[in-house]
Amino acid sequence: MFVDRINLDALEYKQPITQKNGSKAVYVSSVKGSNDLKDRLRFQMSEDNETNLQNAVWGLSQPLAGQDASRRSLELTVESPVLKQFLIDLDRKNIETATTCSELWFKKQLDQPSIESMYSPLFKPRQKETFKDSVKIKVKCADYPTNIWIVDDIVDGEMLCKRGQPEDLTKGIKVLAMVETSGLWFMPRQFGMSLTATDLLIWTNNTVGGLKGFTLKEGSTIKKVVDHPMEDIM
């Protein structure tokens, strides 16, 4: 679903837990009282396959020697005014909740300015007139990898797609992204929320399109997936 259908007031922040690697996390559910993984906060970052599509500011991040290459970063422009306000509101919600829960989460009472100084925001306002507002997402490249689809062609208004690879996430491509988050991560002097891509639809300058499972503009259809059965995109 697109972000305009999400009620941030309905989010539930769980009790902090210690993960296997020793780090702390606070899971966030879109349905109060639910521990079901399907109730993670999940949303689409453009209205549909033609409206406010995002652009990759840079290509997919390249890990240095010894760094974890299973989750890599992709910075996308924020084109939709609705998405922009949603990300700002979600950042504010995280900060306000952390302030309220500071004794539980940080073992001491902290005021909001202190929390803000520690928080890594999702929304990155443009730094220069030539740049655009942006947001970083994570792309899974190992276990349970992010589904990447390339619009290969448009035939009589119908979109043909084929499987893509992380190497296809290059600077300047257009992107329709479906993302989710399990909640908040914590480091000694910093905390924040990561958005992980479950599905990415990308296309070159020669094609435009959408993907089943995303919100498609009225009249848009997908005829088939090149070299893959349609059931792959569900």
Residue 113's pLDDT is what? Answer: 98
Report the alpha-carbon distance of residue 207 to residue 190 in Å, rounded: 41
Structure confidence by residue, pLDDT tens digits, 126-153: 987 768 999 999 999 999 999 999 988 7
**59: number of CA atoms within 13 Å, CB side?**
8
Residue 210's pLDDT is what? Answer: 45
Domain boundaries, the chain: 3-148+164-205
Low-confidence stretches of the chain (pLDDT < 70) are 130, 157, 204-234
Residue 58's pLDDT is what? Answer: 94
Task: Please choose, from the candidates 30, 38, 39, the residue with its C-alpha nearest in 3D space to the C-alpha of residue 11.
Answer: 30
Which residues lie closer than 8 Å to 194 by C-beta, 6 or more apart?
138, 181, 185
DSSP string for 132-157: --EEEEEEE-SSSPPEEEEEEEEETT
Which CATH class name applies to 3-148+164-205?
mainly beta
Residue 69's pLDDT is what? Answer: 87
